[in-house]
Structure 1
Amino acid sequence: MPFQELLDQVGGLGKFQILQMVLIVPFLVMTACQMFLENFTTVIPGHRCWVHTLDNDTVSDNDSGILSPETLLRIFIPLDSDLRPEKCHRFIHPQWQLLHLNGSVTNMTEPDKETCLDGWVYDQSSFPSTIVTEWDLVCNYQSQKSVVQSLFMAGMLVGGLIGGHLSDRFGRKLILRWCLLQLTIVGTSAAFVSNFHIYCLLRFLSGCSSIIILANDGMLITEWIRPPSRVMVITVISCAFSVGHILLGGLAFVFREWRTLQLVVSVPFLVFFFSSRWLVESARWLIINNKPEEGLEALRKVAYTNGMQNAGDALTMEICNHNTLLWHHDQSTAPWEQYFPVPGDLWGPHCHYPMSSSFSTESYGPSNNPDTFHVPGGTFCFGQHVCAPRARAFGLETVASRCGATLAPLLMMLMEYLSILPWIIYGVSPIIAGLAVLILPETRNLPLLDTLHDVKNNKEFSRKVNEINSFVKVTKF
């Protein structure tokens, strides 16, 4: 393809690409921390009902200090089936007679109990504060913990769809920088809010920004890389995502108060916002969006950085205009076809959507509930290789994957009816998704397809794959 030849001339994997990755990889690492922040900020510590006699600071130590705290706890808090203090109930009246039972079985009726009307007392030995302890998201309110996780994923769903359209229209770099600034503001603000609903809104907005950062980071790297090197680069991107998981665990070990942890994973995005000014916009996007002069300037900058000044000087506007003609051809396509082209053109890539949804359900469900089931993270899919416009296609894939991710935490509620049911769903989903892989087109060593014109000619292009792989045009100046 014409742009592939341009990329070969200016350097498809050189100093420029390495510097671009050095700038972008930290974005990915910290965004991964944002995505799984609720693993630590929503930890449910040990808890029991607040009792006036036990927990009121104005009351002296049972006046005489004769009874130990454990003894008083037995009087006011019932025991569960494991003979541990119940988490969600207390006795309506003190049960002094329980002190004389010594574990013997009697025919006495069970004392009347009530819910925790005055709040809860939490075990602060591991985490001094979480949003669970902040807003009492336990017992009858425990489901709201899953709502917080789902709202973040819902934000990623909305952000993926809207951000894909904006990135295709206004550029990858501009929208990326806006989202870095937005995530700085809403993430930092979330560390200071005192209202649960406002916190949920801010986490939703954080999700909107996070997915766009991930998408545009991936595109700003892969759209500058030659096909033979693209697999290696995407592997590095995936490893950066895993490093984010590891880093988050370390940060949560050091900063155990949830507001501090929220602040620590949000403030770095302000630094990223300023450093992103040195990123170079995708020349592919500039050229196919009828900005050949800017695309040519970006290519010359890449050539200069990669030490290929002669190639940069030899780039001509005629080469860029050839790509511009392809863009005008695509503009004649109906708007709905940019997302859902005619049958036969993108049937393969669109089959990727149910696979993404199932993968996200299986991945984010267990990983967002580490207290129930531990799963190592580290795999992330950055979108189709053969779908154009690329950012909008990624947005649609994000919608599909976030549908699965949004439902994943909510599936844990099914444990109230059948404890094994969520795990059955998590296990069956990837098996079903695996069937969709069989009809995906092969993308190994193939150049990125930039326009719908390219996609519609994909069959003819695929027949020339061997020729492309065996011969790369290199022009010396």
Structure 2
Amino acid sequence: MDLEDAFQVVGEFGRYQKRAVTLLVLTQVYMACQSMLMVLVGSTPEYRVEPQDDTSSQHVTFTEDVDSIVTEWLLVKQQAYKVSLAGSLFFAGLLVGNVVFGPLSDKVGRRPVYLTGLFFEVVFGYVTALAPNYEVFAASRLLVGLMNGGIGLVCFVLTQEYVGKSYWAMTGTLTSMTFAVGIALFGALGYFIRPWRSLVSVANSSGVVFFLLSVNLPESPRWLFCQGHTERAEQVLRYMALRNGNAADSLRLQPVQAAKAGNHDNRRAGVLQLVLHPVLRLRTVVLMYVWAGRRRSMASFLCLAGSACLCTMFIPENTESLLNVTSLALVGKLMVSAAFNIAYVYTSELYPTVVRNAGLGVCSMSCRVGGILAPFVPSMRALHTSMPFTVFCVSGFSAGCLSLLLPETLNTPAAETLEELSSTHSRVLESKAVLYEDKKKKFNHR
């Protein structure tokens, strides 16, 4: 049987998969705490500068009882940029981690990359808590971001590849939701734990728990299968079936697919295939611009976001009615967030298992670059007050239109190897007449 049939026997989302996915999803809480760390650790309280008697030096006095890296290392005035620099280093590491860890997990496996990345993120997290000076602190944030960006993608892909394809949307949504919950929980944690070193230590300690619980997680059966390790994939699937309470002693995967998985193209599969393979090249270019959701959801959500931004250009900013610039901007943000929530799910469905993490890494990199450029858009108000909303409007509509170039993935099996991409058609723009002719030829052939 093929993998999708095997998951029907094993259980697409049985008891064991629920426990494994829950563990991986809860790991997002730890990752969210690391992402938001600088918001509280880099807090700058009110202060005043007093000149010293008979000297040219100045004494900084903080008027608020706040313990942060600012108060410990006096990161004010000319040194204030170091707070933002530490935050930027984390996100720089996040960007590099997306690109490096994705292809690496496609080559050596999901499990070793995930466990190694999580282990070192915890280690570097404690280096952050014990940093003797700013330089060590900043370097540790860069390394934590590197690990965080990498294992975030691998963790997400594991939640997908442990379950049947019909549950990918649910597990992907849970991952995004839990990350948002982690941000809120970190804010509450910062309210009760004020010393910044204690806050970092407590937030990082949850990573130790998640690492210890993750040691027994198996390798992705989908990755094993596409790499030609058919027997190991069968062992993992039987193990899942046993834990789910299902009988799968006679489970055997198709040897033909395993042979295909071991061919020359799949051994070369990597980030370069995103450029060299014609199907992957088109999908990667479109997704890097769009980075949104499934075909239909993508078009609707992004066009609604563009419409909301378009309407803001015709409403006075000082209006106090319910329909104002702020409410419409929030509607646009809601639509963008809805589309982005589906982004990981749709991207993982479009890329075959052999390059799934590489594709996610490259698309995520484009998203990070967009985040870097986005703060410059409001400065366009100097040209015209409606210019920022015009840019967002055009971006939303154009992304929705470009999404029509991508195929539908609903109720279709996930591709495991590069060869299976050639059989994936059904674009939105593909005419019904062509589909009818294809069916007619098949019928006449029979």
TM-score range, shorter chain: 0.7 to 0.9
Secondary structure of 1:323 counterpart: helix
* Gap change, CA 1:423 and 1:38, over 3 Å in 2: farther
Distance in structure 2 (CA, Å) of the matches to 1:336 and 1:163: 11
* Gap change, CA 1:423 and 1:333, over 3 Å in 2: farther
* Gap change, CA 1:342 and 1:286, over 3 Å in 2: closer
Partner residue of 1:164 out of 89, 102, 116: 102
Cα displacement (A) at 1:124: 2.6
Distance in structure 2 (CA, Å) of the matches to 1:433 and 1:178: 38
What's the CA shift string for 1:372-393, capped at 9, x where partnerless? xx99999654361211310111
Aligned partner of 2:36 in structure 1 is 36
Cα displacement (A) at 1:448: 2.2
Partner residue of 2:135 out of 194, 197, 206: 197
Secondary structure of 2:99 counterpart: helix
Matched, 1:8 2:8: yes
Distance in structure 2 (CA, Å) of the matches to 1:456 and 1:187: 44
Aligned residues: 382
Cα displacement (A) at 1:430: 7.5
When Rg is computed on C-alpha atoms for both structures, the one with the higher figure is 1
Secondary structure of 2:412 counterpart: coil
What's the CA shift string for 1:396-450, capped at 9, x where partnerless? 12222222345567x59x98x9899999769845851552243243323333222
Secondary structure of 2:48 counterpart: strand
Aligned partner of 1:404 in structure 2 is 370
Matched, 1:46 2:9: no
Letter in 2 for 1:29: V
Matched, 1:342 2:286: no
Cα displacement (A) at 1:146: 2.3
**Structure holding more helix per residue:** 2
Distance in structure 2 (CA, Å) of the matches to 1:455 and 1:419: 47
Letter in 1 for 2:112: L
Partner residue of 1:314 out of 245, 250, 257: 250
Aligned partner of 2:71 in structure 1 is 133
Matched, 1:273 2:228: no
Moved over 6 A (4+): 374-379, 417-424, 460-463
Distance in structure 2 (CA, Å) of the matches to 1:145 and 1:131: 8
* Gap change, CA 1:320 and 1:202, over 3 Å in 2: farther
Letter in 2 for 1:23: L
Structure 2: which 5+ runs fail to align? 293-304, 306-329, 436-446
Aligned partner of 1:325 in structure 2 is 259
Secondary structure of 1:49 counterpart: strand
Distance in structure 2 (CA, Å) of the matches to 1:250 and 1:443: 39
Letter in 1 for 2:161: E
* Gap change, CA 1:17 and 1:425, over 3 Å in 2: farther
Partner residue of 1:293 out of 231, 236, 240: 231
Distance in structure 1 (CA, Å) of the matches to 2:414 and 2:4: 8
Distance in structure 1 (CA, Å) of the matches to 2:427 and 2:245: 31
What's the CA shift string for 1:336-376, capped at 9, x where partnerless? 6423243344413431213349xxxx9xxxxxxxxxxx999
Distance in structure 2 (CA, Å) of the matches to 1:298 and 1:2: 15
Distance in structure 2 (CA, Å) of the matches to 1:171 and 1:399: 21
Distance in structure 2 (CA, Å) of the matches to 1:229 and 1:31: 23
Partner residue of 2:61 out of 100, 121, 131: 121
Secondary structure of 2:215 counterpart: helix
Matched, 1:254 2:192: yes
Secondary structure of 2:249 counterpart: helix
Secondary structure of 1:121 counterpart: strand
* Gap change, CA 1:292 and 1:354, over 3 Å in 2: same
* Gap change, CA 1:181 and 1:225, over 3 Å in 2: same
Matched, 1:352 2:352: no
Q: Is 1:223–1:448's contact at 8 Å kept on the other side of the alignment?
A: no
What percentage of aligned pairs have identical amino acids?
A: 26
Q: Is 1:355–1:430's contact at 8 Å kept on the other side of the alignment?
A: no
Cα displacement (A) at 1:134: 2.7
181-190 or 228-237, larger mean C-alpha shift = 228-237
What's the CA shift string for 1:58-97, capped at 9, x where partnerless? xxxxxxxxxxxxxxxxxxxxxxxxxxxxxxxxxx99xxxx
Q: Is 1:160–1:396's contact at 8 Å kept on the other side of the alignment?
A: yes
Aligned partner of 2:398 in structure 1 is 435
Partner residue of 2:344 out of 379, 382, 388: 382
Using the size of structure 2 for normalisation, the TM-score is 0.75
Aligned partner of 1:113 in structure 2 is none
Structure 1: which 5+ runs fail to align? 54-91, 94-115, 363-373, 467-477
Aligned partner of 1:302 in structure 2 is 240
* Gap change, CA 1:23 and 1:420, over 3 Å in 2: farther
What's the CA shift string for 1:133-185, capped at 9, x where partnerless? 23333333333322222211110111111101221112111111111110111
Aligned partner of 2:111 in structure 1 is 173
Q: Is 1:32–1:244's contact at 8 Å kept on the other side of the alignment?
A: yes
Letter in 2 for 1:314: S
* Gap change, CA 1:336 and 1:252, over 3 Å in 2: closer
